[in-house]
Structure formats: structure tokens, C-alpha cells
Chains A and B, each alone.
Chain A
Amino acid sequence: MKSKVFSGLFKKFSIYSIRSKMTICFLALGIIPIIIFGLISYHLYFQNLHKNVTIYSGQVIERVDKNLETYISDIENILQLKSNYYFQQYLKLNEAGDIEGNRKYTVRIWETFDILKQMKTDLVNIRLVSHSGSIISNYGRYWIDVSKDPLYSQLVNNKTDVVSIQPPHLNFLNQKVFSIGEVVTGNAIGGQGIMAIDIDVNFLNKICSDIKLGETGFVFLEKNGKVVFSPQSSDKQEYSNEIIQNPKLMNSENGNFIDKINKTNYIITFKTSAITGWKIIGVSPETEMASEISMIGWVFFWLITSIIIIVLLLTIYITSVLTNPIRKLRSLMKHASENDLSIYADIRTRDEIGQLASSFNKMMNQIRDLMAKVKDDQQKIREMEMKAMQELIKPHFVYNTLDSIIGLLEQNRNDDAINLIDSLGKFFRTSLSHGREVVLIREEINHIRSYLMIQQFRFSNKFDFLFEIDDEIYNFKTLKLILQPLVENSIYHGVRNLNKKGLIVINGYLKDDQVVFEISDNGEGIEDEKVDLLNRIMAGDEKVEDQNLYFGIRNVNERIKLNFGSCYGMKYQSKISVGTKVVLNIPQVR
């Protein structure tokens, strides 16, 4: 069943049909440019996307850097409080051990710290550290060993007079913070202290996480080969530790590269922050880009599929519109080839197919006319043949011949009688020819020969006859009874009334692919005007009003023309007192 359906479809869409060829052409013309365009667009899009991801990552880490810079600048401004009168007074009185005198400044500093903390919620602890390790902060007053404080050591022992940043660590309340500090110069109090601010490490998380790098991309911070900050996810921390080992990251300040971690490519973009010295590193998984590309791929796929379907449907429709008239015409021609000549191509388009249909209709009209003419000609041929037969077998000819035979018998010339009867028998036999219209030239010659023998006997050898027939023409075919009327005319109008013995010569030969017969006599001849008239009648240039006039020769001439065409026929040549020659040409028919 399936195979039948498929074979049926295959037949319907045979690649040899115009419709299939047109469909394939249209599909190729429609789809190939789309596929080429799709592939080029896909490639360009991928390249552009890669570039954009890198640019976007660069912008993201730039923003992180700016945010960090802005925030740290704010903190630097806060740190300038170290020069405030109350802060200075506090340090001096604290060093001097004036507890009660310092109450006012202590309370003021706490209030100031509290206001700052409320204004900047990321601040965890603001502290003023004296060289002795005494601290006043927004959590009160306490002590540290300054020699073990990394920020203090960095600022004071290393004589750093600019802001220093301590990477994320745990403060005295076990809160994860990073610290920013600046030296407080204490000329009056002997040693140097620092003012430091602890900032909740969530601030780094906030500025790194607020900016999205795709669905799973992230930003982390690095300094001196160690991760300063990385998002909480263990995966991201693991990736961060792996990425910082990359020499490209270690050996340059800014840039981007692709790193493969766990069989996944990551686009790494990094920049070194001037203010913190931290490397801000953006990590974007290439797979996300690929997923977007994959999505685009799917869009392309469905787009191309949709276009193919649309093109296919349009193609089927267009080819159907274009080829329907052709197929209709083909179907009509098929019918016509099966002898249905009544059909008419009802195609009313003005294109080539319409013109073809119009020509077809004209051709069919002509065929119908020709068929009618052929039919008519056949009818005429039959009628003329009948008349030729009637002319041939005239009762007068038969009675005279029979009288001659009786006379021979009465004279006991039995052999002559037998010969005459034999000739008469042959004459009638070949005349009938079993009803055939066309006979071998040999038969036609034999027929003439019998006729001449009969007439020679009847006219008491008034004439002789001679056959000069090329052997090669005997096996060609000819219409029957075309020579007998001409021979009869030679007898009755040529040699019959001669004072001398008449001679009738029948020639037969091949010339220019035609068979030519010449019936000549040495009779009285015909006047030139009459010869011209006869020839014009034979050529169809002269109409004959009386249908009985020249009936015999016209019958032969028309039968030849009807059967073989107008280029064939008869022509008279004659000269008075010399004789007459009729030339008859027919095609070589085997």
C-alpha cells in the first residue's frame, strides 16, 4: 500500500516532467540563497556576539572599577575626619590620660561614627587607633596589639602616607569585612595612629553581583595571585582559584582571553583597579553565548524550513498554473493521437502556451479538413474507378470480341479462337484484380498486352505494337487501368484510320525517382491547339464543362493526381501526320 502511494507520488512528481523540473528550479533558486545568507549571517553573528560579549564584559568590569573607586573615594573623604578638632582633641586627651576631660569628645566621636554608619549602611566599624593600641570605634573603646595589625603595620611601619586597603578578613566581631585606612599623624602625641573603616564584604558582593554577566557569569577580585573576593557559590570560588593561575592574567594588567575550565570555555576579561590594586575579573561562560547561538540556529532552521514550505507551496501553485495548460494540451494531443479529431483546446491564455493551443486547434481543423478531403477523394477515386471499369468493359467491345471469336470458330480457326479467348480472359482477370486499386506494373503491362492482342485481332493486324519496358520497373506498383484508356485512344484516334500499318509503342523506364510510361503511335497526330488544350486540362488549368468530354484520359489523370499528388499525371506531345505520344509519370511505389 505504502509502496503504491510512494510510486504514485513518484509518478506524479517524475523528475522528467516540466513541472518537476520547474519545482526543482524554483526550490533551488529560493532555498540556496537563503541557506547561503543564513550561514553567512550565522557566522557574522557569532563573531559579533563574541566581540560584544568581550566589550560588554569590559564595560561591566569598568563599572565595577568605577563603583569601587567612587566608594573608596567616599571612604577617603570620611577618613579626613582624622583632622577634625574633636578627633585630635580626643587623641591628645586620651594620650594624656584625662578621662573625665575626654568625655565630651568621646561622645561626639561615637555620635559621628553612628551618623556615618547610618548614612552608609555598608560600614561595619569606624575606628581611630592610637599608637598605643587604644581604639575608639562605634562599638566603644578597646585595645589591640598594633604590631600584629596588618593595616596598622602597612600604614605606619611601612610609612605609607596614602590610603591602604586590607583585603577581606574577619573583624573583632567575626564579621567579614575589608578595611580602608589612613595614617593619623600625631606630632603632639608622639606616635602615629591610624583611622580605619571596616566595610561589610557584602558590599563587594553587591557591586560584583548587581552587574550581570549573563545567567551564570560573575565578577571576582584578585590580588597578588590570591582571590580577594569571589561570589559565595563554591563552583565560582573553584573557578576563580583556577583562573588566577593563568599566566595571561598574572603577566598583564588588563586584557581578555579564553580559559578552559572543566571542558567549558570561559571568556575572561580583566582590569587592574588603580586605587585598590585589585584585578577585577569578569567571567562569562561561552556556553551561554553558544546557547544564544543555538537559539539563533533554531530560529534560522525554522525560518528556512518555513521559507522552504512557503517556496514549495508557491512553486507547486506556480508550476501548476504554468504547466496545467501544457498538461491539458498534452492530454488533448494524446486523445488526438487516438483518432479523436473532434477535440478542441480550450486554453485562453495569451502566452506561448495559448499560442500553441491556438496552433493546435488550427492544425486539428486542417487535419479534419484533410481527412474530409481524403475521404472525399477516396469516394471520388472509387467512383472514377467504377467509371473506368464501365468504360473499359463496354458492351460493344465485348460483343465485337465475342463475334470475332464466333467468326474464328466458324472458320475452324480454333487456335486463333483459343488465343483470343485466352487474351480476353486475362484482360478481364487483370481488370478486376480481386478488387485491388494498386497492382504491380507487371500486371498492368500484361493487361495492356492482352488488350492490344484482342484489338490487333479485331482490327485484322491493322497495327503492330511494341513493349520497351525496363525490367527494373516491373516490380513497382501502379494504379490499375491507367494505360488501357491511352492505348485505346492510340488505336481509335491514332492508327485505326491509317493507310499504312500502324505502330503503338509502350515504353516504361525510371527517371528521377519516377516511373515514366510513354504510349506513342504513328497515327494522324493532334493539332497543336488541341494538344495545348489537353495539357491544360491535364494540368488542371482548364475546366471541362461536359463531363463526358475526354472522360478516359481525364479519369486516368485525376486518379493519378488523387492517389500520388498533383505533381504526377499525363502530358501530350503530338505532331500532325507524325504521331502522338502520351507521357505518364508516377512515383516509384513498392
Chain B
Amino acid sequence: MVKYLFSNKTKVLFFVLAAIITLAGCASSKFEKNNTAIEPSTTSKEKSTVTKNKDIIIAMVPKSLDNPVFLDALEQGEAIGRTLGIKIEWLGSMQSDSNEQVAIVESLIQRGVDGIAISCIDPEKMKPIINKAVKAGIKVATFDSDSPHSDRLFYCGTNNYAAGEACGKALIKVLKAKGKDKQLQRLLVMTADKESNNLNERLSGFLDTARKGGITLNIIDTLYCKDDVNIAGDMLEMYIRTGEKLDVFFSTGGWPFVSPSESMTGFHAWCQNGGTSILIDTYYPVLEAAQQGMADALVGQNLKKMGELSIRNLYSVIKDGKIPSKFIDTGLELGDKSNYTQLLQEKQRWEIK
């Protein structure tokens, strides 16, 4: 709306003024650092020594460092950053922790980075700090997981509700094929946490579509893996072995299949015995597990595209003031038993160990 209120000349004038103010801010910051960095100090006024040089810096803040899913976004973002001649940072806590995520964004505001792309763990908790960053003149966007009520410029990622819808449609199809579409289906859900907006949208899309399609679902339990790929597989296997009997397993992410498939014999057997398993994500380990019979359908996100488009659009805003649309859709990738092999061939094996 705003861009239509001003002429191109006015916009250029604003840009020049903004640049002057920004440079003045940088000079002031350097002066402070020069005065305080050398000697020991314990005052909170001291500024960090982390650089704020002439290069444009865009910081990407994932939910956690230990989730390899985000590595695609990091690598693609860095690659694009190099082509654009800017510096890309990747900052997050090792495990998903909304408080630490807030602290990290706070530090970025203090350092005065040029742009921030965040995958929000808790959209409501992140809203104030995003708004603060925006007020500080930092260009803020979200990727993967949005904070829709904040002042962020745009969200770059999957249409999570659509991804859920795709999963719901896949369920209907699978159950019809198995002749179980008229039966009550006991559903086990796995997600990262209660707060993540993207995951909640996926779950809503899935449940809405399935129910609209005439599937009767009874959610018997929900497992929260906190975005931790190391515990997600164990949680699922443990539930299959000791929990209530279930008919359908739905996961809003591919966490459980990052664990070696050999460690999930119970789940594998459950799938072989007619259990229906549908997950979101189509990265390599998930596709490998699906090919071994542990998933009836997969709906994938494009993390590389998220990294790429987040950086490109933020750079564009920083450099030219061009504000993209509020939502940049990175599309979906659908998989089922018919195309798992093909999809695997298109992707590279993870070599992180």
C-alpha cells in the first residue's frame, strides 16, 4: 500500500536519507567500540566486537542448529550471498529454544545487521522482537515458520496449510486404496511443539482435508519432538511398541526418519501390517525410509528455495527498497511409492557424519 503513496523521486530521497542515517549510526557504533573494546569492562553499555562493516550482512535465524533440514537453506543462502557480494550469518541455539532465539535477534539488533530472516519457534513470542528490529531499521523476514502478526516484511516458505491439505488428500487416497476409508482411524500425530505456526497450519490443513474427505479421525495422542531429530525416531518407536493401537501416523516434519531405519523395526513392522504413514518433508533420509516402506505418502518443502528467496528478497529490500509480496511460496514436492526412487535420484545423500 505504502509504495503507491510516494513518487519515485520521493522514494530516492528517502533512500538517501536512510543511507545517511544508517552510515551515521555505523560511525557512532564504531566510535563506541574503539573506546571500550580493549580494556576490561563489566558494564552493559559495552558493545560487542562483532563486526558491523561496510558489507551488507543478512543473518538467518533457524529454529535450531541441530536440525539438518535447515542446512539446505543455509547453504543456498550463503551461495546466493556470495553471488550478491554480501555476508550471510547463520545464528541459532543448538536445540530449539524460543528464549535463546529472542536473545539472538536482540544481539542482531544491537549489532545493527542489515537484514534478518527468521524461522520462528514461537510466533507470538517473536512478534515483539521482530517489531523492535523493524523499528531499528532492520529488514526482517520470516522463512519456514512465520510470525504473521508481526511487522516482518514477508514470509518465504511453504504454504503450510496447503502442505497439510496435500497430506490430507494423500491420506484419503491411501485409505481408499486400502479399503479403510469408511473405518474410524486412530491417529498419532508428531510435531515439534505447540507454538510453531507453520506446523500447526500443516496439521490443520491435514485434519480439515481428511475430515472433508469423509475420513473419521480420532487423535489418540500427539508427540512433541522439539525439532530434535535425535529423539523423534525413538519417541515414535517407543510409542508403537508400548502405546495404544493406532491406524494412521502423521508427522508435520521429517524428524523421525533421520534416525537409522534399522532402529525403527517396530514402526516398520506396523507399516507392513497395514498402518498408514504420511509425513511432510522429502529430504534424503526421509525418502530413504519411505522407500523402505515406512511412508505411504510424503509432501516435501523446498528449503533451498527458502534460503535463496529469503536472501534475494531481503537484499533487494535493503539495496533497492523493493518490497516483495507478503508471502513468497516455495512450492510443494509430492511423493508416494510410485516416485520415491526417482526423487531419491534427484537428491544428494546427506553426509554430515
Contact = CB atoms under 8 A, between A and B. Distances in A.
A104 B65 contact: no
A542 to B, nearest CB: 131
B42 A148 contact: no
Contacts of A100: 75
A150 interface: yes
Contact of A169 (B41, B68, B93, B103): B41
A38 B25 CA distance: 73
Contacts of A142: 50, 59, 89-91
B107 A174 contact: yes
A443 to B, nearest CB: 129
B91 A110 contact: no
Contacts of A99: 75, 78-79
Contact of A107 (B53, B107, B352): B352
Contact of B49 (A107, A140, A141, A149): A149
Interface in B180-216: none
Contact of B93 (A139, A143, A167): A139
Main secondary structure on chain A at its contact with chain B? mixed
A145 interface: yes
Interface string B33-55: 11001111110101111111101
B49 A148 contact: yes
B90 A141 contact: yes
Interface string B286-309: 000000000000000000000000
Nearest to A175: B103
B40 A167 contact: yes
B56 to A, nearest CB: 11
B106 A174 contact: yes
Contact of B57 (A97, A143, A174, A201): A143
Given A107-B352, A167-B40, A226-B39, A143 B94 contact: no
A172 B42 contact: no
B237 interface: no
A104 B37 contact: no
A173 interface: yes
B89 A140 contact: yes
Contacts of A111: 66
Contacts of B104: 139, 173
B51 A144 contact: yes
Contacts of A166: 40
B48 A172 contact: yes
A107 B71 contact: yes
A567 B82 CA distance: 155
B262 interface: no
B91 A170 contact: no
A201 B94 CA distance: 21
B75 A176 contact: no
B117 to A, nearest CB: 13
Contacts of A226: 39-40
B48 to A, nearest CB: 4
A202 to B, nearest CB: 12
B199 to A, nearest CB: 22
B42 A174 contact: no
A172 B50 contact: yes
Interface in A207-246: 223, 226, 228-229
A172 B33 CA distance: 12
A170 B48 CA distance: 6
Contact of A97 (B55, B82, B87): B82
B110 interface: yes
Contact of A110 (B40, B50, B66): B66
Nearest to B47: A170
B68 A138 contact: no
B51 A104 contact: no
A145 B53 contact: yes
B183 to A, nearest CB: 43
B94 A138 contact: yes
A186 interface: no
B51 A148 contact: yes
Interface string B88-121: 0111111000000001101100110000000000
27 contacts: A104-B352, A107-B352, A107-B353, A114-B66, A114-B94, A133-B51, A139-B65, A139-B92, A140-B90, A143-B53, A143-B55, A144-B50, A145-B49, A145-B51, A145-B52, A148-B33, A148-B34, A148-B49, A149-B49, A166-B40, A169-B42, A170-B48, A172-B48, A173-B104, A174-B48, A226-B40, A229-B42
Interface of B: 33-34, 37-42, 44, 46-53, 55, 57, 59, 65-66, 68, 71, 75, 78-79, 82, 87, 89-94, 103-104, 106-107, 110-111, 351-353
Given A170-B41, A172-B107, 16 more contacts: A104-B352, A104-B353, A138-B94, A140-B90, A140-B92, A141-B89, A141-B90, A143-B57, A148-B33, A148-B34, A148-B51, A170-B46, A172-B50, A173-B107, A174-B106, A226-B40
